Amino acid sequence: MTTTLTPRADRSATNLSVVARTARTGQLVAVGVAMTTLPWLVWGSAIAQAHGLIDWRLPQGIALWVLAPSIAAVTALIGGRPALRDLGRRLVAWRVPPATYLLALAVPAGIAAAAVALAAAAGHQPRPGVLMSLPAALAYLGYGIGLYLLTEEAGWRGLLLPRLQARMRPVPANLLLGVTWSVWHYPLLHVPGESDSGLPFVGFLLLTTSTTILIGALVNAAAGSVLVAALFHAAFNATYSYSGVVGPDHTPLWTAAAASALLAAVVCAATRGRLYLR
């Protein structure tokens, strides 16, 4: 019996084949090295200067933008043009269920609000707007979508997530990605002047890993759209900075981590561990 694929089904089969061929351990390690080397060099220069080891630092604003050429290069290295085309398709995929866009904005805002309320109930007095004003947060949201689409999310959700999910079930894949994402940020927690500086790593790890599960579920529901992940990431940073979740008082960080972990557990249970992966 001969099965004839429609053009759309044929493209989907081709994309899955490209991902499967480029999901070997060595290829995944290559992606991780490419994602880490230059940002850590940038952040490391600031840490070294703060400790008096050197008297200069690289411009911190380039720490994410240096990812774009690194991601393009490693994608071509592990899979050539087919892998580049697959990544490009994921980056520009915008025809997705509208609910995924809405949730990408609403979930971070809801968690931030819950974190502030829980911190207040515990006797703390969160001060929204101190770390980042509301106008600045809205401007950051608009800028951050493009920033994360072309940098972090192109790597985390564009390259690594589909390949990890090709090798293991969605929940373990996203947990591994979440831990990787957390460790990747570790030097940033020690860069003087950064909003994340001084945050407790365990709380940050719990928050980032549970958030990875939430983003992964939305990306799967949106058929692999990296744009949805970039929107969530920008909303995550904007709302958490405005609300004070990542401020000097660490109580909101812990309450946000707890709320995120609870929501991630609910999503895992509701989808029976599939996280909406088709």
Specify the range with the lowest mean pLDDT, choosing from 2-11, 63-72, 152-161: 2-11
What is the chain written as a DSSP string? -PPPPPHHHHHHHHHHHHHHHT-SHHHHHHHHHHHHHHHHHHHHHHHHHHTTS-S----TTHHHHTHHHHHHHHHHHHHHHHHHHHHHHHHH---S-HHHHHHHHHHHHHHHHHHHHHHHHTT----TTSSS-HHHHHHHHHHHHHHHHHTHHIIIIIIIHHHHHHHS-HHHHHHHHHHHHHHHHGGGGGSTT-TTTT--HHHHHHHHHHHHHHHHHHHHHTTT-HHHHHHHHHHHHHHHHHHTTTSS--HHHHHHHHHHHHHHHHHHHHTTT-TT--
Give percent above pLDDT 70 in the chain: 95
**Amino acid letter, residue 61:** G
Instruction: Find the mean pLDDT for residues 90-99.
Output: 96
Question: What is the pLDDT confidence band of residue 12, given thresholds at 50, 70 and 90?
Answer: low
pLDDT at 13: 54
pLDDT at 14: 57
Give percent above pLDDT 90 in the chain: 85
Q: For residue 133, is pLDDT > 80?
A: yes
Contact 191, 49 (CB under 8 A): no
Instruction: Find the mean pLDDT for residues 44-48.
Output: 97
Question: What is the pLDDT confidence band of residue 10, given thresholds at 50, 70 and 90?
Answer: very low
Contact 223, 138 (CB under 8 A): no
Q: For residue 125, is pLDDT > 60?
A: yes
Q: Whole-number mean pLDDT of the chain? A: 93
CA distance 119 to 111: 12
CB atoms within 10 A of CB 167: 15
Q: How crowded is the C-beta side of 190, counted as CA atoms within 13 Å?
A: 16
